[in-house]
Amino acid sequence: MDQSALATFAAIVTSIVVEAAPFLLLGSLLASILAVFVGDAALQRIGQRSLPVQICLGLFAGLLLPTCECGIVPVARKLLRKGVPAGAAIPFMLAAPVVNPISIASTYVAFQGDLSVVLLRIGMVLLPAATLGWVLGGVKPPELLRPSLNLAPSFPMSGGGGCGCNSGCGCGGQHAHEGSPPSLHARLAEVLRHTAHEFLDMGRFLILGACAAGLFKVFMPQGVLGLVSGNPVLAVAAMMLLAVVLSVCSEADAFVAASLSMFPRPALLAFLALGPMLDLKLIPAFLGVFQRRVALAVIVVPAVMIFIMAVSLGMYWGLA
C-alpha cells in the first residue's frame, strides 16, 4: 500500500480528532455539571403553557441545558414521566443536540466561521422537531411511552446529584444515607466520573468518524466518489446514510463533515442535521422507549423532511 496515502490518511484522522476533541470534552463536562447540580426541574414548569409556547421552549431549551444525543432519549423519557408535556419534551429531545452552545461553536469553528452553515443546520433541525412537537403535543405520556421501560439514563438527572456511594447504584441520592444530602466533594467526583465516561464513550465514535472521512478522501476511487458527490440526490442520500452509520457525537460531527469537502454543501448539511436526530444509537433507544407508532414517526419524519430540505437547497443553489 502507498506509504504516502497512509501518511495522508493518518494526518487527516489526527487533525479531525485533535480539532474536535476539546469540544467533545467541554460538552461532556458541561452536560455532567448540569445533570448533577441542576437537573431537569426548569423544564417541569411549562405544562400549563400553550402548545406553541411549549414547542418554542423545547426547541431552545438546549441553549440552557446543553446535551448531545448520546443520552437524550432517557432524559426525554424522564421528563415525560414527570409530567413535562410532549409538545416540549419531543422538540427538546430532537433539537437540543444541535441547538446548544457547544454544537453551535464547533460547527462555526469547523466551517471556518461560515455562519450560514450554522444557521442552516439549526433551521433544518428545528423544522422536523417543531413538526413532531405539534403533531404529538396533545398525546399523553402513557400513549407515547412503552409500558415497560428498562432504559436507564447514562447519569442521574435529579437535582440532587449522585449519592456519593461507591456502589454505582445511580440512586440520585434517594436512598437512605442517614437522610443527608450528597456533599460537594461527592458531587464534584460524580461530575468528573461522568465526564470521563461520556468523553471516552463518545470518543470512539469520533475516531470512527474521522477514520471514515479519511478513507473517503484518500482511498475511495475517484470515479465512484465523483458519481456520488456529483449527483445532488445521491450525495444527500449518501451523507444521510453515513450520518446514521457513523453515529458521531453532535458536538464533534461538524469536523467530520467539514473534512468531506468533496461533497456539495446541501449533502454536508443533511449529514449535520440528521446525525444528531437519528443514528445507530438512537434507533434502538426510540424503539425501546416509545410506542411503536411514535418511534416510527420520530425515525421517519426527520429523515424525510431533512432529505427534502437538503435536495431543495441543492436545486435552489444550482439554479441561483
Q: Where are the domains of the chain?
A: 3-319
**pLDDT (0 to 100) of residue 86:** 93
The pLDDT score that the predictor gives to residue 26 is 77
Angstrom distance (rounded) from CA 289 to CA 306? 23
Q: Give the C-alpha distances (Å, rounded to integers) separating 18 from 98, 103, 219.
A: 21, 16, 22
- Please tell me the number of Cα atoms within 13 Å of 158 on its side-chain side: 13
- For Cα atoms 71, 310, 242, give the angle at the middle one, nearest 5 degrees: 50
Residue 290 bridge partners (DSSP): 145
Residues 105, 23: contact at Cβ < 8 Å?
yes
- What is the model's pLDDT at position 150? 40
Tell me the pLDDT tens digit for each residue of 210-260. 787 778 777 777 667 777 878 889 999 999 998 988 888 888 899 999 988
Distance (Å, whole) CA 204 – CA 209: 9
pLDDT 10s digits, 26-54: 767 876 776 677 655 555 566 668 899 99
Using CA atoms, how far apart are residues 244 and 233, in angstroms rounded to an integer?
17
pLDDT at 251: 83
What lies within 8 Å, CB to CB, of 73 at 6+ separation is: 93, 151, 282, 285, 286, 289
